[in-house]
C-alpha cells in the first residue's frame, strides 16, 4: 500500500528544523483516514450496544458470573488461534477487501442474533456460539484495519491515528452502552442487536468511498514462510517480546472487568440496565481524554515511559474499582481505568508498528490482537471463578494488584523500554 504523500514539502534550499509534533487530530486531514474513522464511530457504537446487551442477556439467563467467564473463554479461543493468521493474511492480500468481507459477515451475524432474540428462541448456547463466531471474524478484521491505518497517514502521525482509532472504538463506548441500556428498558435486548446490524452499513460505505491505489500483489514467499517470519519477529526484536508481554499482563489481569461488568452492576452496586449502561460507558470517557493526553505528552516523554506509566496507573484504578461499593465512585474510577488503558494500548500498538518493517505490520497486529484480545477474554474465566470464591470485589482487585507488580518488575529489569 502506498503511503499518502505529505500535504506540504520543504524547499531543498532550506535546512528545516525538526517538524513540530502533530496535533491530536492531525490524521483527520487525510480524506481516506477521515472516512475510515467516521465509519468506525458509527459501527463501533452498534458493537458496544451488542456487547452490553449480550452480557446483560447472558447474566439474566444464568444469574452466575462463571458464565460471563465462560463467555470470555469462548471469545478468547478464536483470537488465540486465528488472530495471527489474520495478520499474515493482512500482509498478503488487499486489506480493504478483507475489511469489506469481515464487516458483511459481522452484520449478518448480528442480524441472526437479533432475530433469534426477537422470536424468543435464544438460548445460552446460541449466545456463546455467536460470540465465538464473531471473535473469529474479528481475528481477521482487526489486523487488516490496524495495519491499513499507517498507510493512510504520515509516519509521524501514527501514534495519533492509533489513538483516534482507540477513541472510535472505546469512545463509542460512551454512547453505545448507554443507548443499549435505554433500548433494553424500552424495547428489549433484540432492539440493541438490530441497531448493531444496521450500524455496519456506515463502515461498509466508508470503505467503498475511500480512494486507494489498486492493490498490487507482490511476489511473496509461501504462507508457511510468512508465518515463520512473523513468529521470528518475537525472537529477533527484544522490544516486540517485551511489548507483547506488557500487553498480555495488562489484558489478562487488568481488563476482565469489562466482561464482568453486568455482575458487578447487579451484585455489588445494585443497579439495573440503565446503570450498567453508565458503567460500560465510563471507560469510553477516559478514551476520549486519552486522545488529548497522548497529544500533550508525546512531545514531553518517551513512548516507552508513557506505556509503563499508563499501565501502572490502570492497575491502581482497577484495584480501587474492584473494592468500590459506591456507584458514582465506581463510574469515576472507570473513567480513569479507560484513560490508562487507552494510553497504554495505543502506545504499545504504535511501538509495535514502528519497530517492524511496513510489510510485516499485519503480522505485528496479528500478534497484538492475539495477545490483547485473546488474553483479555481468557483472563475473564479465572476472574469469574475467583468471584464465586472470594467475591467480585477481590477477584477484580487482585488482578489490579498483580498488574501493578508486573509493571514494576518490567520497569526495574528492562530499563531500556523507557527509552523507546
Burial of 270 (0-12, 13-18, 19+ CB in 10 A): exposed
Residue pLDDT, tens place only, 51-108:
888 888 888 888 776 787 788 778 878 888 888 888 888 888 888 899 999 999 999 9
- The whole-angstrom separation of Cα 277 and Cα 178 is 4
pLDDT exceeds 70 at position 255: yes
Pick from 282, 284, 285, 289: nearest CA to 330: 282
The x, y and z cell numbers of residue 169, run together, are 472504538
Residue pLDDT, tens place only, 403-412:
999 999 999 9
- The whole-angstrom separation of Cα 233 and Cα 367 is 10
Pick from 349, 168, 337: nearest CA to 256: 337
Pick from 180, 389, 207, 402: nearest CA to 284: 180
Averaged pLDDT of the chain: 83
- The whole-angstrom separation of Cα 18 and Cα 156 is 11
- The whole-angstrom separation of Cα 49 and Cα 44 is 8
Are 171 and 355 in contact by the 8 Å Cβ rule? The answer is no
Pick from 358, 411, 304: nearest CA to 150: 358
Question: What are the CA-CA distances from residue 111 to residues 50, 103, 175, 194 (Å)?
Answer: 11, 12, 21, 6
- The whole-angstrom separation of Cα 93 and Cα 105 is 18
Integer-rounded Cα radius of gyration of the chain? 21
The x, y and z cell numbers of residue 271, run together, are 443497579
Are 69 and 385 in contact by the 8 Å Cβ rule? The answer is yes
Are 247 and 109 in contact by the 8 Å Cβ rule? The answer is no
Which CATH superfamily does the domain covering 27-210+225-419 fall into?
A: MFS general substrate transporter like domains (1.20.1250.20)
Mean pLDDT of 316-341: 94
pTM of the predicted structure, to 2 decimals: 0.72
Residue pLDDT, tens place only, 161-211:
887 887 787 767 677 877 888 888 888 899 999 999 999 999 999 999 988
Among 172-181, 196-205, 250-259, 341-350, the least confident range: 172-181
Domain ranges in the chain? 27-210+225-419
Amino acid at each position: 500500500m502506498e503511503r499518502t504523500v505529505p500535504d506540504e514539502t520543504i524547499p531543498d534550499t532550506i535546512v528545516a528544523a525538526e517538524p513540530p509534533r502533530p496535533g491530536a487530530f492531525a490524521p483527520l486531514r487525510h480524506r481516506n483516514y477521515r472516512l475510515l474513522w467516521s465509519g468506525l464511530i458509527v459501527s463501533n457504537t452498534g458493537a458496544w450496544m451488542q456487547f452490553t446487551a449480550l452480557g446483560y442477556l447472558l447474566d439474566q439467563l444464568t444469574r452466575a458470573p462463571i458464565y460471563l467467564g465462560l463467555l470470555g473463554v469462548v471469545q478468547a479461543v478464536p483470537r488465540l488461534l486465528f488472530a495471527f493468521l489474520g495478520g499474515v493474511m493482512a500482509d498478503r492480500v488487499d486489506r480493504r477487501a478483507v475489511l469489506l468481507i469481515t464487516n458483511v459477515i459481522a452484520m449478518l451475524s448480528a442480524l441472526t442474533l437479533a432475530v433469534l432474540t426477537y422470536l424468543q428462541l435464544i438460548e445460552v448456547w446460541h449466545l456463546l456460539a455467536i460470540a465465538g463466531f464473531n471473535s473469529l471474524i474479528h481475528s481477521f478484521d482487526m489486523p487488516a484495519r490496524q495495519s491499513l491505518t499507517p498507510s493512510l497517514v504520515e509516519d509521524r502521525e501514527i501514534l495519533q491515528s492509533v489513538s483516534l482509532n482507540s477513541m472510535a472504538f472505546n469512545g463509542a463506548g460512551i454512547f453505545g452502552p448507554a443507548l443499549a441500556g435505554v433500548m433494553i428498558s424500552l424495547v428489549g435486548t433484540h432492539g440493541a442487536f438490530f441497531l448493531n446490524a444496521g450500524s455496519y452499513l456506515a463502515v461498509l460505505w466508508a470503505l467503498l468511498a475511500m480512494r486507494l491505489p489498486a492493490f498490487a500483489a507482490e511476489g511473496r514467499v509461501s504462507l508457511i514462510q510468512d508465518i515463520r517470519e512473523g513468529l521470528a519477529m518475537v525472537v529477533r526484536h527484544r522490544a516486540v517480546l517485551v511489548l507483547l508481554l506488557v500487553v498480555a499482563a495488562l489484558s489478562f489481569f487488568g481488563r476482565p472487568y469489562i466482561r464482568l461488568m453486568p455482575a458487578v452492576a447487579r451484585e455489588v452496586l445494585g443497579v439495573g440496565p440503565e446503570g450498567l449502561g453508565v458503567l460500560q460507558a465510563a471507560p469510553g470517557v477516559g478514551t476520549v481524554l486519552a486522545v488529548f493526553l497522548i497529544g500533550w505528552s508525546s512531545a514531553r516523554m518517551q513512548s516507552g515511559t508513557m506505556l509503563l506509566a499508563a499501565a501502572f496507573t490502570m492497575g491502581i484504578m482497577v484495584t480501587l474499582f474492584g473494592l468500590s461499593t459506591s456507584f458514582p465512585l465506581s463510574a469515576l474510577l472507570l473513567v480513569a481505568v479507560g484513560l490508562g488503558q487507552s494510553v497504554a494500548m495505543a502506545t504499545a500498538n504504535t511501538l509495535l508498528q514502528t519497530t517492524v518493517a511496513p510489510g510485516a505490520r499485519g503480522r505485528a497486529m496479528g500478534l497484538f490482537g492475539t495477545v490483547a484480545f485473546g488474553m483479555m477474554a481468557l483472563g475473564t474465566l479465572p476472574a469469574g471463578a475467583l468471584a464465586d470464591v472470594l467475591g467480585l470485589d477481590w477477584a477484580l482487585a487482585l488482578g489490579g494488584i498483580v498488574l501493578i507488580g508486573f509493571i514494576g518488575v518490567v520497569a526495574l529489569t528492562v530499563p531500556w523500554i523507557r527509552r523507546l
